[in-house]
Amino acid sequence: MNPSNPDYYNKYAIEPLDFIHANNITFIEGNIIKYICRWRNKNGIEDLEKALTYLQYLLDKEKQNS
């Protein structure tokens, strides 16, 4: 557990930052995880929209590469 993380991240058995790091998750995927994990306890719909923005970016890039 990372004591410097805010309470909205400390609610999980594995903090999002630790999960992202341990699994070598990319920046874009990590941001999706971060915003999904905190939306209920921080910025609400704004965080869901941010997650959607990153997800759409990832989807667009994957379509370009296929």
Please report which confidence band the pLDDT of residue 2 belongs to, taking 50, 70 and 90 as the band edges: low
CA distance 2 to 10: 8
pLDDT value of residue 41: 92
Q: Does the pLDDT at position 4 exceed 90?
A: no
Q: Can you give the residue ranges of every domain in the chain?
A: 26-66
Distance CA 52, CA 44 (A): 13
Average pLDDT of the chain, as a whole number: 91
pLDDT-based confidence at 26, cuts 50/70/90?
Answer: very high
Contact 11, 20 (CB under 8 A): no
Residue 3 has pLDDT above 60, yes or no: no
Cα dihedral 56/32/43/40 (nearest 10): 120
pLDDT value at 32 more than 90? yes
